[in-house]
Structure 1
């Protein structure tokens, strides 16, 4: 019987995973903890690894002598040492399209909550204060500029939704391509200077980590808002807090953090002009079912000698070299 390690999960049961794996005679294994030592010890006797947020490091991968592949139950693979997996001939798969509408909807929800002071007023009224004048000035949404840092599937979905509200959409990408969206492409500096709302939709890589730092935040309008539903590592959180404290930024909405879970006692997350959601943008009953099914079907494919659907490292070899 094949053994598949599921390092962690953000859903309450494993019925979908076990049902799909049972079709190919595979058993699901869950660890008692997600630290590197525990995962490495269990990985030594598994045929595949699936991971949600836990880190699958080089040590974990090298200890998995029988492992045939690593599956990410999600889109980004920054928690997996893809280079090590590639070196060892292991395919790494992901689920690139499972939550596109959910994250796009969440992004627009956060934008609306900030533009209309919904988050601010909600906190104040719940605390017993009914005072319209307490909120900052609000602007008509139509005609304002939404800047997108990244224009993949989710960025494109955000752009189409934003236009329905009358927002002007601009974007910057590493390739300079608008991917058929038809929005104005600008430099990062122009994106920061022009945006009334800056929304991040890029993976965490060595070149994008803390791309929104003190220098970049100083280019933004003091009336602008930052939205991050992508990866927490894109934002220098101490620099963001300083920008808010010095009124160099109107507000921020964060669904992702570095690290996760964050220390919610930190001043940034308690600031009344910051909206915080617990990495919830990807979630719906439909998206979770799609992701879990897609991830496990890719595991089953590899275990039965087939090529999985979404391979992050297309140069992989089916067997270790």
Structure 2
């Protein structure tokens, strides 16, 4: 019998070995392309039935070069790197990982929010440069004192698994937690989370705005100058979702003008951000390297769960967590 082939695209900071071992034990021949280059992927996966995708762009042109492909399994909750319309036209399954790092990303978002509220990077800088608490309390640059978290409102844009987990974690810390999500199931709306009907209204009512949306044509650039201008003076933005949700020039301008006191970004429009990207150099914008998901547990889940999706599809005809179901 012909042995089915599964190929990992780019694995970046992940070790594909545990997932590859699962696939091999299930009868697959496994290859690791280790690249986002479409020519490399087309050559490595020319006979593959399964493609396990990191950040590599899988578009219509690449799919044309992979005639045996039947399933695309992402190593992430998002699947915006895949042309899902093209996949559906070809009858391909697309899977994602809706809960591989829910807790980890929610904790990172909360840690980012509290680091901004407490101004921890400036406190660190004061000590490292020989200052002490008086220098922090009366800063040379006129920065305000940190505000008490229990007097602030945390606003969640989107109310999926990560945002609901964040709401639970943040409720004992922040005075109020509010959210807007027109697509959220009312039955899953968390108790104690105030509901807003629009992003504009939520932005105007919160002190820390945290983004938890997928990247789609309708959410691209959603947080623009108009939304940022509605935020309270001295408020903060946290983005652990997708970099393209935020208009970067508008964000820099909002921080420069003092509309925002700061921002914390784990994601960027271009990753990694180029050396001349203003986001990399702004002293009031805190950065992490798209690592919100990363823990010892999630690192294994991100390669094993896509493999389990492929194996389930191979054995039963249906993966465990489909994002695109070509039979529907």
TM-score tier, shorter chain, comes to over 0.9
- Other-structure match for 1:138: 146
> C-alpha distance in 2, partners of 1:13/1:176?
34
- TM-score, normalised with respect to structure 1: 0.93
Determine the structure 1 residue equivalent to 2:33. Answer: 31
Residue in structure 1 matched with residue 294 of structure 2 by the alignment: 283
SS at match of 1:191: helix
The 1-side partners of 2:255 and 2:174 are apart by 27
1:235-314 correspondence runs (5 A) = 235-314=246-325
Partner of residue 173, structure 2: 165
| 2:260 alignment partner, SS class | coil
Which residue does the alignment assign to 2:156? Answer: 148
Is 1:181 the counterpart of 2:190 in the alignment? yes
Q: Is the 8 A contact 1:144 1:167 kept in 2?
A: yes
Q: Is the 8 A contact 1:43 1:60 kept in 2?
A: no
What is the aligned residue count?
317
Q: Structure 1 residue 69: deviation in Å?
A: 0.4
- Deviation for aligned residue 1:128: 5.1
Cα shift at 1:127: 4.9
Q: Note the C-alpha offset of 1:15.
A: 2.0
The alpha-carbon deviation at position 18 of structure 1 amounts to 2.0
CA apart distance, 1:238? 1.0
Distance 2:119 2:295 in 1: 25
Q: Does 1:200 align with 2:208?
A: no
| Superposition TM-score, scaled by structure 2 size | 0.91
TM superposition shift of 1:129: 5.0
Asked if the contact 1:104/1:158 (under 8 Å) is kept, the reply is yes
CA deviation map 1:13-66 (0-9, x unaligned): 332022101112212212253122322333322121001111111112221111
1:120–1:273 CA contact under 8 A, matched in 2: no
CA gap 1:10/1:123 in 2 versus in 1, 3 angstroms: farther
- 1:45-93 CA distance string (max 9 Å, x none): 2121001111111112221111110000110000011111111011001
Moved more, 298-307 or 140-149: 298-307
CA contact (8 A) 1:145 1:167 kept: yes
Calculate the aligned-residue CA RMSD, in Å: 1.8
Which consecutive unaligned segments of at least 5 residues does structure 1 have?
none
- Segments of structure 2 that go 5 or more residues without pairing to the other structure are none
